Structure 1
Amino acid sequence: MPPDPLPATARPVLFILGPTAVGKSALALEMAERFGAALLSLDAMQVYRGADIGTGKPTAEEQARVPHGGINLVEPGERFTTADFLRHAAAFLAQCRREGRPVIAAGGTGLYFRALTRGLCEAPATPPALQAELDALPLEALRERLRRVDPSMAEPAASPLDLANPRRIARAIAVAEISGKSLLQWQLETPEPLIPVQDFTSVLLLRDLPDLRERIAARVRSMVSAGWADEVARLVTQHGLPAIRDFPAIGYGSLAIDRKEAARKLDISFPDKALSEKALHRISTQPVAPDIVEQIIIDTRHYAKRQLTWFRKESIVRQINLSRSATLNFLEWWT
């Protein structure tokens, strides 16, 4: 069963939404400190422990300044669903309500925003065997299978589905095959949301495209300079190469392969849980191949485009272009 809707609070939940690198986190942290609020991450990749640099997770110092929810909930490789996120969010919001603390929810996972504010449909879970079968299919094969089992969800002009996202397509296929009913029909029968429309306000942060593209490139390069490759090498050592190679966050898989190649050149067995700190350091400090960095930048830009497409379908959000507007102009309507 879905969590019960929360009672109204003195100040509505503020959603700060937008594509990666637009400036959501910095603004949310600034506002949380200004208003004594807690922060709920709406980033499906920040739930994984140890995946910090590459997901843009708040630093330990930032987490000490402001209470955070939605981060460090499971290990890489563990299953974490939107329903799991809603259960965590319900407990986090309830705690904040008891403390009289307002909440800012910030991030770029549109499905989390939609589930919190529209409810989560109770379609059946995907069996592991079917999930593995669908995970092995390329994108075009998934689209073709969706056209066979649920044509309404496969039509680009009418489908609410992100048809560039293989995980979302696989979910729609699974629901149709298991239940004999379209995912869209399940969604129409969705229970009441955790945060109804009268209890939140929202803003979509935007930037001019050249500005956003440059910020994405700078962000990726900054992450690499901050030790992202070292983070990935350590995660591979802890969880194994397959788990990190298949990790859904952008960049982790390609960096895992890059670190394995770096270890090969150094004649170091990798991954190996018995690897010494000295050997791991040698692997981690090898430069990342420039083509890997450039591909991560390209993939991140494509992801940002998909995020914008999703959020622009949400009619309830206000839009602010940070390339043209002062950051804090909209504070008045949250006070």
Structure 2
Amino acid sequence: MSEGHPIKAVLIAGPTASGKSALALELASRADGVVINADSMQVYRDLRIITARPTQDEETRVPHRLYAHVDAAVNFSAGAWVADAAKALEEARAGGRLPILIGGTGLYFKALTAGLSVVPPIPAELREDVRARLERNGVEALHAELAIRDPRAAERLNLRDRTRIARALEVIEATGRSLLDWHHEGQPPLLSKDSFRAVFLAPERDELYARIDARFDAMLGAGALDEVERLAARGLDPLLPAMKAHGVPALIRHLRGELSLEEAATIARADTRHYAKRQFTWFRHQLPEFEWVKPEQAKRWLAAAADGARASG
């Protein structure tokens, strides 16, 4: 951020297992802050363990917002998160607290700092019809249908990307307009470019991957399999975001007898490592305003952020 402008928020991003939560907790303690979730999986109340949500002890140390406030049956969107985040920011400011937004979901931070396209709500019956056609006819047939209705969107999508193909088709059917067109119109950002400090924690890859593997093993030890079993018992649409949280699909396959627990864990660890790699790429290209720091430099960055928050308070 530019010098001379008051800090109205601090943004802490980074790949999964990079140490974001500890940094946010310490900053909130030092700067009278409130921690606001910017992770698309930690919004779901059904998934505390498998998404590494803050512990109950951590949540009692400083105020936390937008965690576990959405049911897994809800297809929660970035637009819905922006609306909730706007309320959380207003509440924090009204209480004289520093908003600290933390997470790994790049689209949420992009919406926060650059705005977001607004697609009208899709009628539930239309969404269910598209999902039924996807299951009945397969992703190739749905992509062929999209190519007729919205060739520009179809051309940009991977032929195997079930979720985005279904999303693009339901938008063109519901609105008569391409999803690409909606992306050009939208909400303004919640934060102006000079009103925040933003950091991206960037551990060395080998170190990060080792932490990811160890953390998944710890999740299993803490009861992640039981948590996923309770979720699976609800019989929800497998295309819902909560059903695709890292580790959930593989553990469900284990519960069905399709994989051993070790095979499921191997898949989950690999999926999470691949996601972390995509996070590095996305933030580097989409959010250049974030300062990249190594975890060992985070304490120094935190001290500067806390000082800046006090100076602007």
Q: Which has the higher contact order (CA 8 A, sep 6+)?
A: 2
The one-letter amino acid of 1:111's match is: L
**TM-score, normalised to structure 1's length?**
0.77
2 CA distance for matches of 1:206 and 1:110?
14
1:317 maps onto 2:265 in alignment: no
- What CA distance in whole angstroms lies between the structure 1 residues aligned with 2:184 and 2:224? 41
Deviates more, 1:220-229 or 1:175-184: 175-184
1:329 maps to 300
Q: Is the 8 A contact 2:73 2:236 kept in 1?
A: no
183-192 or 168-177, which deviates more: 168-177
Report the AA paired with residue 329 of structure 1: R
Aligned to 1:128: 127
Q: Does 1:292 align with 2:291?
A: no
Letter matched to residue 74 of structure 1: V
The AA in structure 2 aligned to 1:128 is R
List aligned pairs for 1:219-230, cutoff 5 A: 219-230=215-226
Identity of aligned pairs, percent? 38
Which ranges in structure 1 are unaligned for 5 or more consecutive residues?
1-8, 263-287
Offset from partner CA, 1:254-301 (integer Å, 9 cap, x none):
223323449xxxxxxxxxxxxxxxxxxxxxxxxx61111111001111
CA 1:108–1:191 in 2, change beyond 3 Å: closer, same or farther?
same
**Is 1:23 aligned with 2:19?**
yes
RMSD: 3.1
Match of 2:179 in 1: 183
1:302 equivalenced with 2:291 (yes/no): no
1:132 maps to a residue whose letter is: R
Q: Provide the rounded CA distance (Å) in 2 between the counterparts of 1:146 and 1:30.
A: 48
The separation in 2 between residues aligned to 1:143 and 1:62, in whole angstroms, is: 45
Q: Could you say if the C-alpha distance between residues 186 and 78 of structure 1 is closer, same or farther in structure 2, counting changes exceeding 3 Å? A: closer
Superposed displacement of residue 305, structure 1: 1.9
Counterpart mapping for 1:159-198 below 5 A: 166-198=162-194
Consecutive unaligned residues in structure 2, runs of 5 or more: 309-313
- Read off the aligned partner of 1:98 and give its amino acid letter: A
Quick one: distance in 2 between partners of 1:220 and 1:229? Answer: 11
3-state SS of the aligned residue for 2:108? helix
The separation in 2 between residues aligned to 1:82 and 1:114, in whole angstroms, is 10
Distance (whole Å) between structure 2 residues aligned to residue 228 and residue 25 of structure 1:
19
Q: 1:213 aligns with which of 204, 209, 221?
A: 209
1:183-216: per-residue Cα shift (whole Å, max 9, x none)? 3332222232222223222111112221121111
Residue correspondences, number: 296
C-alpha separation in 2, matches of 1:176 and 1:93:
33
1-structure distance, mates of 2:208, 2:133 = 33
SS at 2:191 equivalent: coil
Name the amino acid aligned to 1:73: H
Deviation at 1:321, TM superposition (A): 2.8
- TM normalised by structure 2 equals 0.82
Q: 1:217, 1:21 → 2: CA distance? A: 9
Call closer, same or farther: CA 1:234–1:211 in 2, change over 3 Å. same
1:141 to 1:244, Cα distance in 2 relative to 1, 3 A? closer
The alpha-carbon deviation at position 162 of structure 1 amounts to 9.1
Amino acid at match of 1:207: P
Alpha-carbon separation, structure 2, partners of 1:164 and 1:319: 33
Q: Is 1:58 paired with 2:54?
A: yes
- Would you say 1:117 and 2:113 are equivalent positions? yes
CA distance in 2, matches of 1:253, 1:56: 16
Note if contact 2:140-2:159 (Cα within 8 Å) is conserved in structure 1: no
Find the aligned partners of 1:13 and 1:260 in 2 and give their Cα distance: 45
In structure 2, distance between residues paired with 1:66 and 1:13: 16
Please give the alpha-carbon distance, in whole angstroms, between the structure 1 residues aligned to 2:300 and 2:16: 21
Q: What does the per-residue CA deviation read over 1:203-262, in whole Å, with 9 as the maximum and x for residues that have no partner?
A: 11112221121111111111111111122223344x247669971211123223323449
Out of 247, 250, 267, the residue aligned to residue 251 of structure 1 is 247
The alignment partner of 1:198 has SS state of: coil
Paired position in structure 2 for 1:81: 77
- SS for the counterpart of 2:75 is coil
| Residue matched to 1:90 | 86
Kindly state the Cα deviation for residue 128 of structure 1 after the two structures are TM-superposed: 1.6
Letter matched to residue 71 of structure 2: E
